[in-house]
Amino acid sequence: MTDESHDPWTTLSERRVYENPWIAVDHREVLTPAGSPGVYGVVRFKRVAVGVVPIDAAGQVRLVGQWRVPLGRYSWEIPEGGAEPGEPPAVCARRELAEETGLRAGCLQEILRLDLSNSSTDETAVLFLATDLTLGPAAPEDTEALAHRTISFAAALTQALTGQITDALSVAGLLCVCHMAKTAPNSPAGLDPALAKIMLRGL
């Protein structure tokens, strides 16, 4: 039986080598679980990533498009943001959804928690399903030059499965909501079965 509470790595030294308002990087001299000397760079995130799958009454998904600097290319995604330290992820989800799309969620439901890159970073993500949507004014941050697109759930899922949507939060969120839609008739606490039926048209 493995002792899952035991850290098999030994840290010999650690120093901070980089920091900005969003991330910090710590360099460690270590001994591996086998006892060999090595190094480990740990990227620490100051915010929790938050993503929202917004589904309207017609079973459509609102997507946002933006240039992603690290990838050097454009990306279509579900609305996303970062929860400030101490900010509950659900509060961040409502805020980012409103800022990026103008949409207000009558119903917001947490659906998944993810560790995004656990070999190198401590970044975690919390994903939500937003339904019962109403439209108000949008107010994107000035770092964001956002485009908008509303497509059927079936089209969005197909884009995730065929490599047109590749953002991890979006792909995992859309797949999870698809699973929720397919199991809705047997899952009283989940998605409204009538909405689920509309969403699954064309799949």
Q: Which of 176, 175, 173, 191 is nearest to 51 (CA)?
A: 173
Give the relative orientation of helices 168-182 and 153-161 as an angle to the nearest 10 degrees.
130
CA–CA dist 130, 22 (Å, integer): 26
Of residues 37 and 134, the one with the C-beta less far from its own copies: 37
Q: Which one of the spans 15-23, 87-95, 100-108, 128-136 is the region binding its own copies (CB under 8 A)? A: 15-23
Nearest to 174 by CA among 19, 61, 24: 61
Q: Which is nearer to its own copies, 15 or 106 (CB)?
A: 15
Does 179 engage in binding with its own copies (CB under 8 A)? yes
Instruction: Report the nearest approach of its own copies to the CB of residue 36 (Å).
Output: 6
Our finding on whether 156 is near its own copies (CB under 8 A) is: no
Please identify which residue in 85, 106, 142, 189 interacts with its own copies, judged by CB under 8 A: 142
Query: Which tokens is 77 given?
Result: 């995604």
Query: What is the distance between the alpha carbons of residues 76 and 167, in angstroms, rounded to a whole number?
Result: 8
Nearest-approach distance from CB 91 to its own copies, in angstroms: 19
DSSP state letter for 121: B
* Touching its own copies, residues 57-76 (CB under 8 A): 65, 67-72, 74-75
Tokens 């980089």 locate to 18
Residues of span 35-54 touching its own copies by CB under 8 A: 36, 38-45, 49
Tell me which residues in 114-133 interact with its own copies (CB under 8 A). Answer: 114-125
Candidates 53-61, 85-93, 108-116, 191-199; binding stretch for its own copies (CB under 8 A): 108-116
| Single-letter amino acid code for the residue at 42 | V
